[in-house]
Structure 1
Amino acid sequence: MIRLFACLSLLFFLVPVTYVRGPAPPANDSQYIKLEPIALDAKDANRTKVGRLKFLGGWKITSDNAAFGGISSMLALPDSRFLMLSDNGSLVGFTFDEDKHQAVRPFIAPLPDGPAKPNEFAEQNWDSESLLHDPETSQFWVSYEHQHSIWRYGPSFARKESAHYPKAMQKWPENGGAEAMLRLNDGRFLVFSESAEHSEGGYQALIFDIDPSNPESQSVRFGYKPPKGYKLTDATMLDDSSALMLHRRFTPLDGMSAILSIAQLEDFQPGEIATSTQIATLKPPLKVDNMEALAVTQDGKEKIIWIASDDNFSPLQETLFLKFKLLKGKTAQKKRDSRGKNEKAGANPGFSTFEKD
């Protein structure tokens, strides 16, 4: 019954309606989500700037629901709605009343299907890591580690529509598979591994010519080199020519830290190793945890960046939800003479040959 209630909550969440919140449900089966305001710097409450980011607000998110936590990716949907994906195969959603620090119409619901039998849901860690959405079709894509695959779901996550286990992903490390995805305006998809090493440096990534959940999709490989010592945890489109890249690192000496950077889409080319330009580093005494989820919204002419953390279902970690404004600055952009000539000629260099999975 609780699972049914959660799934119905998901359906209504994805279709905006007028809602009056009632009392919090019982603990552990709860659909209640609490947001507690926090400062960026516990030692300096007035600090608001870090790199090219201006801190606009931060919250610690908690719930009594046992399935809550492990946030690996998120989407910012219209009407202040946020949809977060847990690595245990759960969806966490709410409409954010920022003025009241409240999660309105909250829900916590399992994905309808994944690379495990439904009755194994409670025991099986599906390790769902990244999430994409097409606002025109209302379809969703989810990538999975361990059982390396890309799944597409229908509107409101009503059902699985397709799933594919690309051959090019099957040798990726069990716990280092598809950590981030991007969907380009021309219909291609980029899928980034967390720790599958590229022979020329950095880590492996794939460019799919069409929907990667389609068995007919074809891919080519390239590499992405994150900042030294860091691993990519999420990515999202910033505009038509660039993407935001989120990275994390943990060391016993320095603890947890995260780097946000900007990559140029033109650098994601077959056989090449792409990099990005760092714009901010989150590290103590700033509020930071295992930062794994990233989203971008538009406020007038301003880009708003949202970052959330994966608490690993550990009482020693927290689910943080941070809001920043992207400040103006220069982003390094590599130029290649050959690419420029191709672009003038109307060509799309490097994307003419795909390998069939």
Structure 2
Amino acid sequence: MRGDMPRILASLALFFFLVPVTFVRGPEPTGNTSQDITLEPIVLDSEDPARTKLGQLEFLGGWRMTSDHHQFGGISAMLVMDGNRFFMLSDAGVLIGFTLNEQDNAAERLFVAPLPDGPAKPNEFARKIWDSESLVHDPETGQFWVGFEDQHSIWRYGPSFARKEAKRDLAIAKKWPANGGSEAMLRIPGDATKDTQFLIFSETAPYRKGGTQALIAMADPAEATTTFKRFGYQAPAGYRITDAALLPDGRALILNRRFTPLDGISAIVSIADPTKIKPGTVWDATPIARLKSPIRVDNMEALAVTTEGEDIIVWIASDDNFSVVQETLLMKFRLLRGKAKRRSSSPEPENEKAEESPGFSSLE
């Protein structure tokens, strides 16, 4: 029995990592609705607490986040606005908002609330399964876009998430695995000559030329008239994309995750240029940092970028899968050798015939 114990523990770890603790039948259980979040400061490296350097990232601080609210956790995407105002989105379709007071290690002006609308339940007995995995924002209009992984759909919400404005089922992604859909999304601002475009990444759907499938939405992906083109994304070997965010100079940071029972959890942050994307080809990225034990790491799924003066700040958060054996972590880094001027860029649209998929949009 003693010789089997490592294998048993590894199997249990794999179970808790891959199987979120959710209810899919019957009424939703009642729970604590506390609007408090506790932030416990953490160090980067448990074996070297003074360490701050991690590849091209410099650790500035981090926190273990806990709350008694029964819907807290499962962080899959996040946005960070001015004044350290955070909007985190869980894979259960719940928004977690707060202002981070770094000096006092406190979450202030916070709320925990579900999205105003989302995909329909699979049947009358099931609980709502809003597998929301990706999130982007237009700072000029205040609109938000959310990618739902299991349903392969994109929904657009109005300012402050007040209401759903439009939604579209992506027929072009109908063959993507149910648990490998719109894992990450990027919004590429347009200019006088190009419309704003969106990049939508599958976590696991293989691309014929290598890597995993991704889509270029030539305009708003929630609208029925928008056309799409395919390309591939090549993650580091053994890793899967979990989120992406634009840098001020137009390049993209990409968060990639890996888990094996023997090696545990790790993550790689990569950097790539969206202007190099061409339909029908594979887009790859250059790794700049790796998070692996003894570095504090969990199921890293959410990524955001802000600026402080001339510094580019990188935020990374983890998805605890609503599991008692995992953690919700929030980590803050400075991007080294990354002080570039702002510019707008769009992926190149040529070299592959546009694939248009039917859909619908609606206003409420």
Q: Is the 8 A contact 1:294 1:307 kept in 2?
A: yes
Task: Measure, in 2, the Cα distance between the counterparts of 1:100 and 1:121.
Answer: 45
Residues 1:66 and 1:328: Cα distance change in structure 2 (over 3 Å): same
Q: Distance in 2 between matches of 1:220 and 1:163?
A: 19
The structure 2 residue matched to 1:318, chosen from 317, 327, 343, is 327
- Distance change in 2, residues 1:119/1:173 (3 Å): closer
Percent identical among aligned pairs is 59
Displacement of 1:160: 0.5
Match of 2:171 in 1: 167
Which of 239, 242, 258 is the matching residue for 1:233? 242
Partner residue, 1:138: 142
List gaps (5 residues or longer) in structure 2: 1-30, 191-195, 358-364
Q: Which runs of 4+ in 1 moved over 4 A?
A: 117-122
Q: Which amino acid aligns with 1:210?
A: A
Counterpart of 2:218? Answer: 209
Aligned to 1:302: 311
Say what the alpha-carbon RMSD is for the aligned residues: 2.2
Q: Tell whether the 8 Å contact from 2:279 to 2:349 is kept in structure 1 after alignment.
A: no
- Give the counterpart letter for 1:354 in structure 2: A
AA aligned to 2:157 is: Y
Instruction: State the partner residue of 2:230.
Output: 221
Kept in 2, the 8 Å contact 1:218–1:355? The answer is yes
Residue 282 of structure 1 deviates from its aligned partner by 0.2
Q: How far did 1:123 drift?
A: 2.2
Q: Which of the numbers 105, 117, 123 marks the counterpart of 2:127?
A: 123
- TM-superposed deviation, 1:241: 3.2
Measure the CA separation in 2 of the matches of 1:140 and 1:121.
30
Stretch of structure 1 that moved more, 32-41 or 117-126: 117-126
Partner of 1:148: 152
Give 1:20's aligned residue. none
Q: 2:92 — aligned with what?
A: 88
* Letter of the structure 1 residue corresponding to residue 177 of structure 2: P
Kept in 2, the 8 Å contact 1:185–1:240? The answer is no
Change in Cα spacing, 1:117 to 1:266, as seen in structure 2 (3 Å) is same
Write the distance in 2 (CA, Å) between the matches of 1:146 and 1:79: 33
| Equivalent residue runs for 1:240-319 within 5 Å | 240-319=249-328
Amino acid at match of 1:147: Q
Count of residue pairs brought into register by the alignment = 317
User: Is the 2:265–2:297 Cα contact (8 Å) retained in structure 1?
Assistant: yes
Structure 2 equivalent of residue 45 of structure 1: 49
Q: TM-score, normalised by structure 1?
A: 0.85
> Displacement of 1:328 after TM fit?
1.1
In the alignment, the residues of structure 2 paired with residue 205 and residue 301 of structure 1 have an alpha-carbon distance, to the nearest angstrom, of: 32
TM superposition score normalised by structure 2:
0.83
Kindly indicate whether the alpha-carbon contact (under 8 Å) linking 2:277 and 2:348 is maintained by their aligned counterparts in 1: no
In 2: Cα distance, 1:277 partner to 1:330 partner: 17
Deviation at residue 239 of structure 1 after TM alignment: 2.9
| Residue 40 of structure 2 corresponds to residue 36 of structure 1 | yes
**1-structure distance, mates of 2:205, 2:276:** 19
C-alpha separation in 1, matches of 2:70 and 2:338: 42
Select 2:201's aligned residue among 192, 202, 207: 192
Give the partner amino acid of 2:356.
K
The 8 Å contact of residues 40 and 55 in structure 1, kept in 2 or not, is answered as yes
Note the C-alpha offset of 1:356: 1.4
| Shift in Å, 1:28 | 1.3
2:159 counterpart letter in structure 1: P
Q: Distance in 1 between matches of 2:111 and 2:338?
A: 38
- Per the alignment, residue 340 of structure 1 pairs with none
Distance (Å, rounded) in 1 between the aligned partners of 2:289 and 2:173: 31
Describe the SS at the equivalent of 1:79: helix
Q: CA deviation at 1:240?
A: 3.8
Contact 2:311 2:339 in 1 (8 A): no
